[in-house]
A and B are shown apart, each in its own frame.
Chain A
Amino acid sequence: MTTALAPKRGGAKPRRTAAFRAPLTGIGLSGQVAFWALVAIALLALLGPLFVQTDPNAVDLDYAYAPMSPWFPLGADASGRDILTRLIVGSRTALLGPLLVVTIATVLGTLIGLAAVWFGGWVDAVAVRVIDAIFAFPGILLAILATALFGSGLPAAVIALSIAYMPYIARVVRSAALRERNLPYISALRVQGRGGFAISARHILPNVSGLIVANATLCFGWALIDLAALSFIGFGVQPPTADWGAMVGSGMAGILQQAPNEALAASALIVITVAAVNTLGDRLVQRSENRA
């Protein structure tokens, strides 16, 4: 039997570490760039609106499609509203939606995945069938259905997308927890008389948390696109509230009027955010798979 040489405290990396303990190691340069880009975007959404002087919803038709100028750094939209202001204020709506979706989907998915693994048997069978059934519906379709039932707006879209994204997390958690559950240390805990809940919550969950964080990150990117798309077709965020997806939709008309700034700037922010989130998510997934 190989007895590992006991290194000094802090000297060697533990075989697996939960992602939140060392968020920036082992994700490579692209992961680092993506991480800091997201920090910048998050700061923009958190702090930006505090410094905005102009009213994002103030209509002044004299300045419709105004070009870039010191007063309108990115120009004005069809109603003469400042595009930059609307982008900054809209970042909160644009990011809050996916954040809610990912939070709800992750909590639900993790609970379902862990319960399926711990109880096994018919609970597992039912969970797997439900997951498969939800997978069969595209998220956008569920969201359109929800808006048909509950009316347009962010809450209906968020709830529908949370349900649509839950299976992604549940499936990943289930397979990772299943592998973890069959490791000998879990039987060692069982013969010490630990209950299923204590083992799932205190041992299995922390050991699969890296994978959960990584997949939640990926879901954030997809949810952002889906919510933007819903707002674009008018089912999501309702005017006059500023939102990136809604701005792409309302800026469409401007493209034909030689004033593409609104649609382009909003699209660019969506693309940058999603690209950064997906890169970071991919690197986190890679990292948890390497360590597992």
Chain B
Amino acid sequence: MSPLLSVEDLTVELRVGDEMRTVLKNVSFSVEAGRTVGLVGESGSGKSMTVRSVNRLLPDGAKTSGSIRFEDREVLDLRGEALRSYRASDVAMIFQDARAHTNPVRRIGDFLTESLILNGRVGRKQATATASELLEAVGIHDAERRLRQHPHELSGGLLQRVMIAAAVAARPKLILADEPTTALDVTTQAEVMAILMRMQREYGMAMLFITHDLELAGSVCDETVVLYAGEVVESQRAEQLHRDPLHPYTAALVQARPDIRQRAERLSAVPGHPTTAYEAPEGCAFAPRCRFAQDRCRTGTPQLVRLGTASEAGPGGTGLSRCVRAEELRGRLLSPDTTDTEEARR
């Protein structure tokens, strides 16, 4: 079966002043129906731009090439009514900042029923009933009262649940979640995540989940795609990712996590600062920050290579890594004191 969403060789350039800046370079991945794919990476790595390409919300003047296929349609070619119905009934989006993404002067009820009435062609009464059911489904119990309230009367966690309710209202096939819990405190985060995952299971929706929380990606996603400087640097099964990273960047991210069982005198961080695609150096974009970098990393363009993953988690997983030394560094990426640069060897 062909995947629900397949992104191939997606390259996006944005106009900044007079120049075009590359923000995504040949990004490819796919999402199967009902599955969850995580997109992780630092700020500026292109996570949000990928999602914005999928729902065609790129800024004016953006130049895209490659292909995004949803079922049998080419998303990048959708225009007018076809684009509207794709957005209305096939994909839904959950934003990071729910408060900024709701009209402050409209009531929650209007927010939920408006698209039902406009897109689903149901009456106001039916739409209101559906809206309260949706609110109940996302764990808001006094739905009748909430429907009459304005967004400023709801807490961040409640408002994000309303956003989830609005997103699933049209029974989309794919949910795009752009850091849906980053703006919430940790306990609320867990509740909202649980609701989102339950809704996803009940409705059988696929999800493209953006986060920079590797743990969260590991527990929520089936597959994780790691982006760095607008490129896919690694992609493999989510639960394997932090145990057996295939790319030095992923390994560095895994090591930068503080461990709750140990007191850290100094939090470790990935040295250097994140690069965006247009300022990435020649060769491997991560080379300047990589403790395994060699001279050959700084020339040429590393390709994604396919590696078999550890067998303990069952048969068959393979992962992709964009590292020229992926094979030889296999299994050593997480060992604490491997300094394996050319300089260290001399």
Q: Are A183 and B100 in contact (CB under 8 A)?
A: yes
Q: Are B101 and A187 in contact (CB under 8 A)?
A: yes
Q: Are A192 and B88 in contact (CB under 8 A)?
A: yes
User: Interface majority SS on A: helix, strand, loop or mixed?
Assistant: loop
B119 at the interface (CB under 8 A from A): yes
- On chain A, the residues within 8 Å of B157 by CB distance are 3
Known: A1-B183, A3-B155. A14 touches B88 (CB 8 A): no
Contact check: which of B89, B103, B153 meets A9 at CB < 8 Å?
B153
Q: Are B105 and A17 in contact (CB under 8 A)?
A: yes
Known: A1-B184, A192-B166. A198 touches B118 (CB 8 A): yes
Alpha-carbon gap, A185 to B93, bound state (A) = 12
Alpha-carbon gap, A192 to B86, bound state (A) = 9
Contact check: which of B100, B106, B150, B166 meets A184 at CB < 8 Å?
B100
Q: Are A192 and B87 in contact (CB under 8 A)?
A: yes
A136 at the interface (CB under 8 A from B): no
What distance in Å separates the Cβ of B100 from its nearest Cβ neighbour in chain A?
A: 4
Alpha-carbon gap, A115 to B114, bound state (A) = 22
Alpha-carbon gap, A198 to B84, bound state (A) = 12
- On chain B, the residues within 8 Å of A16 by CB distance are 104-105
A151 at the interface (CB under 8 A from B): no
A256 at the interface (CB under 8 A from B): no
Q: Are A190 and B87 in contact (CB under 8 A)?
A: yes
Q: Are B105 and A18 in contact (CB under 8 A)?
A: yes
B209 at the interface (CB under 8 A from A): no
- On chain A, the residues within 8 Å of B86 by CB distance are 193
B85 at the interface (CB under 8 A from A): yes
A206 at the interface (CB under 8 A from B): yes
Most buried by B among A4, A16, A192: A192
B190 at the interface (CB under 8 A from A): no
Known: A6-B154, A9-B149, A15-B104. A191 touches B97 (CB 8 A): no
Alpha-carbon gap, A188 to B105, bound state (A) = 15
Alpha-carbon gap, A114 to B106, bound state (A) = 19
- On chain A, the residues within 8 Å of B122 by CB distance are none
- On chain B, the residues within 8 Å of A193 by CB distance are 84-89, 115, 119, 170
Most buried by B among A17, A183, A193, A194: A193
Alpha-carbon gap, A178 to B201, bound state (A) = 40
A50 at the interface (CB under 8 A from B): no
Q: Are B97 and A14 in contact (CB under 8 A)?
A: no
A29 at the interface (CB under 8 A from B): no
- On chain A, the residues within 8 Å of B150 by CB distance are 14
B92 at the interface (CB under 8 A from A): yes
Q: Are A203 and B87 in contact (CB under 8 A)?
A: no
B156 at the interface (CB under 8 A from A): yes
What distance in Å separates the Cβ of A208 from its nearest Cβ neighbour in chain B?
A: 11
- On chain B, the residues within 8 Å of A192 by CB distance are 87-88, 92-93, 115, 119, 166, 170
Q: Are B115 and A191 in contact (CB under 8 A)?
A: no
Q: Closest B residue to A121 by CB, please name it.
A: B60
Q: Are B95 and A14 in contact (CB under 8 A)?
A: no
A22 at the interface (CB under 8 A from B): no
Contact check: which of A3, A6, A17, A185 meets B103 at CB < 8 Å?
A185
Most buried by B among A17, A190, A191: A191
Alpha-carbon gap, A203 to B105, bound state (A) = 9
Give the A-binding residues of B (Cβ under 8 A).
55, 57, 60, 84-89, 91-93, 95, 97, 100-106, 114-115, 118-119, 148-150, 152-157, 166, 170, 183-184
Please name 17 pairs of A and B residues whose Cβ atoms are closer than 8 Å in the assembled complex, sorted by A. Answer: A4-B152, A4-B153, A6-B152, A6-B153, A14-B152, A15-B105, A16-B105, A185-B100, A192-B92, A192-B115, A193-B85, A193-B86, A193-B115, A194-B115, A194-B118, A203-B103, A206-B105
Give the B-binding residues of A (Cβ under 8 A).
1, 3-4, 6-7, 9, 12, 14-18, 120, 183-185, 187-195, 198, 202-203, 206-207
10 smallest CB-CB distances across A and B, nearest first, come from: A193-B88, A193-B87, A188-B101, A184-B100, A3-B156, A1-B183, A3-B155, A191-B93, A6-B153, A184-B101
